[in-house]
């Protein structure tokens, strides 16, 4: 039995309107979906999302009136050294009918005007790691045009959803650092000079894969800390998990408002 048929046998064949990848602090959002929850370990080819703070389940159903497919956890490059580890889940999102992919993550900010607890809408990214999930792809489709990878119309819609919810949502450039160690202050200075506004350990390979698959993409970072050397706070994964829910509460409101608008179209 194909993976698609297995999932559709459980969740139905109605196409999903949007797919979401949930980062740290947002796992509970999947629990509010009226639908079906499928653990990753029951889905062939799905990764083992082994980072604490993630909930590795595929949830398909209705959220704020829209039919969605939610990936409750992601696998990161630093877990296995495979930058294409999220391709099977994203392949499935496309096969389920999604045309839109909304990504969320936790990130460290370089900008005093986007402090911990705030959100940043990604306008572009810098692949500071140099890794690419399409290495090894044999077709000419691997030469993906990454101009406007973060869809302008989706960004405008999310900005309007934030405005309607009274949530401040500034735009910025996200840099992907491989992890799992945090960046040094010297690395942060280098990344900042290259033009980044925040740094994190995910999202960029997923955006590359999504554009390869023909999905429209948008992404929002929950800022959990100032980047290394920019404040006196001690940076750790525990700190990230503690701070993520602060911004995630705002992000949930934005996502729900956007999905309600999408459902009405």
* Amino acid 54: pLDDT: 59
The C-alpha atoms of residue 72 and residue 193 are separated, in whole angstroms, by 33
Residue 30 pLDDT = 87
pLDDT of residue 227: 76
Q: Is 201 a residue of the active site?
A: yes
- Residue 168 near residue 119, CB atoms below 8 Å: yes
Domains of the chain: 3-264 (3.40.50.1580)
Predicted confidence at residue 24, as pLDDT, reads 74
Contacts for 169 with CB less than 8 Å, ≥ 6 apart: 119, 120, 121, 158, 159, 162, 163, 220, 254
Identify whether the C-beta of residue 157 lies closer than 8 Å to the C-beta of residue 204.
no
Judge whether 54 counts as a catalytic residue.
Answer: yes
What the block records as the tokens of 259 is: 């999905």
pTM: 0.93
Q: What is the pLDDT along the chain (265 residues), one digit of tens a residue?
A: 699 999 999 999 999 999 999 987 787 888 899 999 999 988 988 987 666 555 789 999 999 999 999 998 889 999 989 999 999 999 999 999 999 999 999 999 999 999 999 999 999 999 999 999 999 999 999 999 999 999 999 999 999 999 999 999 999 999 999 999 989 999 999 999 999 999 999 999 999 999 999 999 999 999 998 876 555 565 555 655 666 677 888 999 999 999 999 999 8
Distance of alpha carbon 45 from alpha carbon 129, whole angstroms: 25
Distance CA 89, CA 102 (A): 14
24 carries an active-site annotation = yes
Identify the active-site residue in 40, 54, 69, 243: 54
Residue 80 annotated to the active site: no
Distance separating alpha carbons of residues 223 and 244, to the nearest angstrom: 7
Q: Are the C-beta atoms of residues 228 and 182 closer than 8 Å to each other?
A: yes
Is-catalytic flag, 30? no
pLDDT of residue 90: 97
The span from the CA of 105 to the CA of 54, in Å, is 11
Residue of 37, 64, 79, 239 with catalytic role: 79
Question: Given this model, what pLDDT does residue 245 score?
Answer: 74
| pLDDT for the residue 172 | 98
Residue of 237, 239, 249, 263 marked active site? 237
Residue 106 catalytic?
Answer: yes
Q: Which of 125, 202, 206, 244 is catalytic?
A: 202
**What torsion do the CA atoms of 248, 251, 256, 262 make, to the nearest 10 degrees?**
-140
């Amino acid at each position: 039995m194909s993976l698609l048929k297995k999932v559709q046998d459980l969740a139905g064949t109605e196409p999903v309107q949007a797919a979401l990848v949930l980062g740290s602090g947002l796992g509970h959002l999947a629990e509010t979906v009226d639908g079906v929850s499928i653990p990753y370990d029951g889905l062939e080819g799905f990764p083992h999302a082994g980072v604490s703070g993630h909930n590795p389940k595929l949830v398909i159903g209705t959220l704020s009136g829209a039919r969605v497919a939610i990936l409750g956890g992601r696998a990161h490059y630093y877990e296995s050294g495979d930058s294409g580890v999220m391709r099977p889940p994203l392949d499935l999102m496309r096969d389920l009918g999604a045309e839109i992919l909304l990504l969320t993550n936790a990130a460290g900010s370089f900008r005093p005007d986007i402090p911990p607890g705030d959100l940043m809408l990604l306008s572009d990214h810098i692949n500071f790691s140099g890794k690419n999930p399409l290495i090894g792809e044999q077709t000419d489709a691997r030469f993906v045009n990454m101009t406007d990878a973060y869809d302008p119309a989706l960004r405008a819609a999310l900005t309007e959803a934030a405005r309607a919810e009274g949530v401040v949502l500034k735009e910025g450039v996200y840099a992907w650092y491989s992890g799992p160690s945090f960046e040094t202050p010297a690395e942060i200075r280098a990344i900042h000079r290259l033009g980044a506004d925040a740094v994190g350990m995910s999202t960029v390979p997923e955006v590359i894969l999504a554009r390869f698959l023909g999905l429209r993409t948008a992404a929002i970072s929950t800022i959990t800390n100032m980047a290394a050397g920019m404040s006196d706070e001690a940076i750790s994964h525990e700190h990230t998990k503690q701070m993520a829910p602060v911004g995630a509460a705002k992000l949930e409101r934005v996502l729900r408002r956007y999905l309600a608008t999408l459902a009405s179209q």
